[in-house]
């Protein structure tokens, strides 16, 4: 019998720096930390350090991810399953994805890594004055929003996760979501080597939202940079981000913060916490609330002000996720959950010219002509 050929798995995945942190809190990160904690978590750290109200949390770093993958001893097998796949062959992609994800999710973490995550989760719970604080567990890939390619949204997010055992399970699920069929196909199509994509996982205090949604500091339909557009629905923002409901829509003048257009939609579904099961569940919005505006005008104004602050900090149009926590008092209950550069209109040479009184200056002039008070 011949000698077995041994593969050095340390060469197949991201290189591990034994001195680098495997877990770090968001405030220890900034926009230059993408290689360490991925796009989402580095953005959250940048926002916190810029004075934006963000729920606290921590990240399993890319070094922690690399440590887990090498300890699991599955890198060579993953490489073999991905070798020669065609981005158009969905059956083969799904089969490979299913096998890889099952491998990742079934592997235990090292005692050291598990202890680091458990201790960070305990500290977060103490900071939030809540035992086993509910968290959102979010994937944060290092290749998110690269010029010419956006990997954002291809990995998973899990809401209202409580207790260290569930946190650990969903951390592994986030890691495995690096190998969804969609993510594998996209990397193949873009010519991006699988082994060069690392992932971080963010564990962030869950805002117990009675209203949440997204906002853009450029009009997503027209490219008009003089307005802020806010979409909202009751409950967690998942229903808005996933497109499951038609949200309420508000257009705010970026200079005066006046609401210049509003559309109240029929909102039949929302996501909220089931207090018995301690899980995030989809629920039917009561009939009497379905056509009610899901956010107060004062809250719209504060959100728009926060969006202006974030856009000024980054120096470019932004796509922002937000939530309003029902457990906290007014004045400190509006939180930014994520902010990323807007990519569609920002990548165009020039936004289309607007017509009518839709630009900031047009709006101010027209308001003065009719004698409207601007502030």
Sequential pLDDT tens for the chain (375 residues): 333 333 344 444 555 556 789 999 999 999 999 999 999 999 999 999 999 999 999 999 999 999 999 999 999 999 999 999 999 999 999 999 999 999 999 999 999 999 999 999 999 999 999 999 999 999 998 864 444 444 444 568 899 999 999 999 999 999 999 999 999 999 899 888 888 888 999 999 999 999 999 999 999 999 999 999 999 999 999 999 989 999 999 999 999 999 999 999 999 999 999 988 888 999 999 999 999 999 999 999 999 999 999 999 999 999 999 999 999 999 899 999 999 999 888 777 544 444 444 455 554 545 544 444 444
pLDDT over 90, % of the chain: 75
Fold classification of 209-362 (topology level):
D-amino Acid Aminotransferase; Chain A, domain 1 (3.30.470)
- Quick one: DSSP state of residue 14? P
Domain with CATH 3.30.1490.20 in the chain: 9-205
* Nearest-angstrom CA–CA distance, 18 and 361: 55
203 in Cβ contact with 120 (< 8 Å): yes
Q: What CATH superfamily classification does 9-205 receive?
A: ATP-grasp fold, A domain (3.30.1490.20)
pLDDT 10s digits, 163-214: 999 999 999 999 999 999 999 999 899 888 888 888 999 999 999 999 999 9
Cα-Cα end-to-end distance for the chain: 86
Domain with CATH 3.30.470.20 in the chain: 209-362
Enter the tokens of residue 319.
């796509």
Residue 180's contacts (CB-CB under 8 Å, 6 or more residues apart) are 97, 101, 154, 155, 156
Q: How many CB atoms lie within 10 A of CB 105?
A: 14
- Strand ranges (DSSP E) for 144-226? 157-161, 199-205, 209-216
Q: How many CB atoms lie within 10 A of CB 83?
A: 9
Enter the tokens of residue 311.
């856009």
Q: Where are the alpha helices (DSSP H) in 228-334?
A: 238-241, 297-314
């Amino acid at each position: 019998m011949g000698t077995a050929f041994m593969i050095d798995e340390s060469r197949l995945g991201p290189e591990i720096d034994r001195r680098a942190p495997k877990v770090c809190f968001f405030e220890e990160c900034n926009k230059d930390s993408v290689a360490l904690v991925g796009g989402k978590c580095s953005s959250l750290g940048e926002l916190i350090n810029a004075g934006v109200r963000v729920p606290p949390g921590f990240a399993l770093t890319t070094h922690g991810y690399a440590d887990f993958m090498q300890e699991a001893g599955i890198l060579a097998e993953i490489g073999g399953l991905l070798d020669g796949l065609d981005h158009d062959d969905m059956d083969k992609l799904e089969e490979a994805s299913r096998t890889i994800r099952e491998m990742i999710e079934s592997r235990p973490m090292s005692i050291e890594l598990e202890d680091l995550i458990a201790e960070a989760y305990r500290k977060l719970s103490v900071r939030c004055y809540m035992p086993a604080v509910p968290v959102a567990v979010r994937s944060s890939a290092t290749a998110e929003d690269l010029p010419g390619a956006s990997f954002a949204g291809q990995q998973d997010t899990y809401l209202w996760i409580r207790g260290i055992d569930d946190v650990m399970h969903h951390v592994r699920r986030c890691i495995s979501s690096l190998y969804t069929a969609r993510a594998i196909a996209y990397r193949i199509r873009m010519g991006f080597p699988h082994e060069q994509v690392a992932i971080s996982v963010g564990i962030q205090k869950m805002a117990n939202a009675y209203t949440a949604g997204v906002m853009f500091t450029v009009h997503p339909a027209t490219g008009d940079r003089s307005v802020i557009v806010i979409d909202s629905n009751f409950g967690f923002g998942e229903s808005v981000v996933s497109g499951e409901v038609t949200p309420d829509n508000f257009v705010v003048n970026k200079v005066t913060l006046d609401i210049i257009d509003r559309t109240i939609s029929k909102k039949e579904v929302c996501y909220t916490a089931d207090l018995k099961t301690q899980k995030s569940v989809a629920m039917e919005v009561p009939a009497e609330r379905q056509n009610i505006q899901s956010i107060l005008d004062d809250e719209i104004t504060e959100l728009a002000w926060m969006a202006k602050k974030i856009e000024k900090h980054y120096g470019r149009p932004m796509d922002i996720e937000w939530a309003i926590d029902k457990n906290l008092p007014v004045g400190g209950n509006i939180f930014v959950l994520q902010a990323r550069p807007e990519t569609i209109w920002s990548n165009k040479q020039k936004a289309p010219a607007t017509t009518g009184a839709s630009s900031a200056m047009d709006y101010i002039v027209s308001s003065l002509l009719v004698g409207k008070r601007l502030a």
